[in-house]
Amino acid sequence: MTDRPLAGESAFAGSLVGHYDSVLGPFMFEPFARETARRLAGVRGPVLEVCAGTGALTRELDRILPPDATIVATDLNPPMLDQAAARLTSPRVTWRQADALALPFEDGAFDAVACQFGVMFYPDPVAGHREARRVLKPGGLYVLAVWDDLESNPVAEAVHQAVAACFPQDPPQFFARTPHGHHDIAKLREALAAGGFADAAVDTVTLEAGRFTADELAAGFCQGTPLRHEIEQRAAAGLGGTTGAVAEALRERFRAEKIASKIQAHVIAAGREANG
């Protein structure tokens, strides 16, 4: 895989969480939540979600799982969980702060583990996969989603290019390095196998993103992701100006009031062997 995430890249707090949830949630996380959740639709026992963020997948799992299934939704960042819990009150959902690389659960506690767009933040993906396998019951299911490359995600690519143009001497690399830096299927399979999942089914899925204006998307990407930290490090007072430049670049590229775009990711399903 590419470079490890930088320190602080997995930190989500303050107004960043609001921009993330209000724009990026319906733009790209909710469409894939429906795609990810349907692979778990038949699970009847306890389900663990790691890296739940603001709960896009959690809400879909709560909607689609059989009535007797329960969900434990975890994230490293309490502000993300607070936002998620404010949007979903369900008797079968438990919210819990947890590190995906050191899960506070017993071996074999869950029938399924789900991770939507969280592996990209793991300092050690193999350790994260190994933990997922540890807490799965024999025969349990592991489902995860990983973004495809920038070229396959036009809005993220346009944002990445526009921000780089604002800082030509030191272009931020968050999108290339982290969300879209873990797309190589061979390397994904290699890490999964090293974590104990030797037989993984990988589907590359293309969906239609939610429609937002250029201004809304620029704010979501520049101020609702860890890209914000890279912008502020380069120009502490320039977040607004950079966001404006990105909005103008999006208007120029897509030439629409509400931008229509595809989003593409790999959705992976792997099982823990029944006798393992």
- pLDDT tens across 177-199, in order? 999 999 999 999 999 999 999 99
10 Å Cβ neighbour count for 268?
23
Q: CA distances (Å), 163 to each of 62, 115, 248, 272, in order?
A: 37, 28, 11, 42
For the chain, what is the mean pLDDT? 93
Is the per-residue pLDDT at 67 higher than 80?
yes
Q: pTM of the prediction?
A: 0.93
* pLDDT-above-70 percentage for the chain: 93
Q: Residue 234 — very low, low, confident or very high, per pLDDT cuts 50/70/90? A: very high
Q: Is the pLDDT assigned to residue 3 strictly greater than 80? A: no
Residue-wise pLDDT tens digits, 129-164: 999 999 999 999 999 999 999 999 999 999 999 999
Q: Which of 79, 94, 32, 33 minimizes the C-alpha distance to 59?
A: 33
Residues 246-266 pLDDT 10s: 999 999 999 999 999 999 999
pLDDT at 2 over 90: no
- Residues 242, 119: contact at Cβ < 8 Å? no
**What are the C-alpha distances in Å from 78 to residues 17, 74, 85, 187, 221?**
11, 9, 10, 31, 21
Q: What is the pLDDT of residue 9?
A: 47
- Helix/strand/coil for 116: strand
Alpha-carbon span 263 to 272, nearest angstrom: 29
Cβ-contact 265, 147 below 8 angstroms: yes
CATH superfamily for domain 15-149+178-210+263-271: Vaccinia Virus protein VP39 (3.40.50.150)
